[in-house]
Amino acid sequence: MNLASSSFWLESAKSWRAGAGRLACACAGPLVGFALLLIVWKVISMRIADIPAPESTLLAAFELFKHPFYDNGPNDVGIGWNILASLSRVAIGFALAALVGIPAGFLIGRVPVINAICSPVINLLRPISPLAWLPLGLLLFKAAGPAAIWAIFICSIWPMIINTADGVRRVPQDYLNVARVLNLSEWNVFTRILLPSALPYMMTGVRLSIGTAWLVIVAAEMLTGGTGLGFWLWDEWNNLNVQNILIAVLVIGVIGLILDLGLLAAARRLDHSET
């Protein structure tokens, strides 16, 4: 083996060890955290007889997910159908909120008159509980599904508006002055200055909104019934099936984590593409 080949393999080994070390460091924290969670859960289950142990609950979850898409009637469907029902409602409500909230945020941040008109209304409506909007949704749409989507929409829109508008306001005035000197059109100002500068704030609002949407859908489905994780969780409570309640809680948490991580990855990718 010549010197060049030997050097190549040594560098490759060093690079592999460095990568493995970084991966181990990145995984160590989450693994310790989840281990502590399981330990606390085990201790609680040993002290409270009604709380199932982690091992039995995880085994039950494995059995539950072996056949996630069975359908034995309106109130007896697999957990996969309930997850898809919740995700579809969240997707529709979240998409509608993004279509309205992000452009509204740019307008509010860009035009002081619109900001003066809209800010007091937003500050009035934003603190209202998600469940307070649900009866209005039932009144307007006469159906549980659209009412749940309405609740998601009205509660997800505020973080997008507020964060996007804040990002637009934080655009350096020097950039706008240069755009005025160059006589750029409003569209060019938007695409070349406002959007790249406000993108991190906008994506923060999107991440906050998806978290809000996922919280709202579970509560809304508990009240409206039909299908979805919230309905399934409440139905299992009525059946006093604590094991399935814990499984539902874990599933809700895992899906929420995946949604947040997905949007975080998208935000980093978009931020990198802009640089």
Domain boundaries, the chain: 3-51, 63-274
Give residues with Cβ within 8 angstroms of 198, minimum separation 6.
106, 109, 164, 167, 168, 170, 171
> Tokens for 31?
């693994």
The amino acid occupying position 146 is P
CB 265 within 8 A of CB 78: no
Q: Rounded mean pLDDT of 212-224? A: 86
Distance (Å, whole) CA 178 – CA 187: 15
Distance (Å, whole) CA 212 – CA 202: 15
Mean pLDDT in the chain? 84
Query: 91 or 50: whose pLDDT is higher?
Result: 91
Which DSSP state fits 166?
Answer: H
Q: Report whether pLDDT(13) > 80.
A: no
pLDDT reported for residue 12 = 60
CB 251 within 8 A of CB 169: no
CB 274 within 8 A of CB 196: yes
63-274: CATH topology is MetI-like fold (1.10.3720)
- Of 19-23, 53-57, 112-116, 198-202, the one with minimum mean pLDDT is 19-23
Query: 169 or 19: whose pLDDT is higher?
Result: 169
Q: Report whether pLDDT(261) > 60.
A: yes
* Residue 274 CA to its chain's centroid (Å): 23
Give tens-digit pLDDT for 175-197.
888 878 888 788 888 888 888 88
pLDDT reported for residue 166 = 93
Q: Is 202 exposed, middle or buried (0-12, 13-18, 19+ CB in 10 A)?
A: buried
CB 64 within 8 A of CB 256: no
Give tens-digit pLDDT for 114-156.
999 999 999 999 888 888 888 888 888 888 888 889 999 999 9
CB 78 within 8 A of CB 251: no
Q: Report whether pLDDT(209) > 70.
A: yes
pLDDT reported for residue 165 = 93
pLDDT reported for residue 103 = 94
- Of 11-15, 29-33, 192-196, the one with minimum mean pLDDT is 11-15
**Nearest CA to 216 among 162, 260, 152?**
152
- For 77, the 3-state DSSP assignment is strand
pLDDT reported for residue 10 = 55
Q: Report whether pLDDT(169) > 80.
A: yes
Q: Report whether pLDDT(32) > 90.
A: no
pLDDT reported for residue 87 = 92
Q: Report whether pLDDT(99) > 90.
A: yes
Distance (Å, whole) CA 274 – CA 258: 24
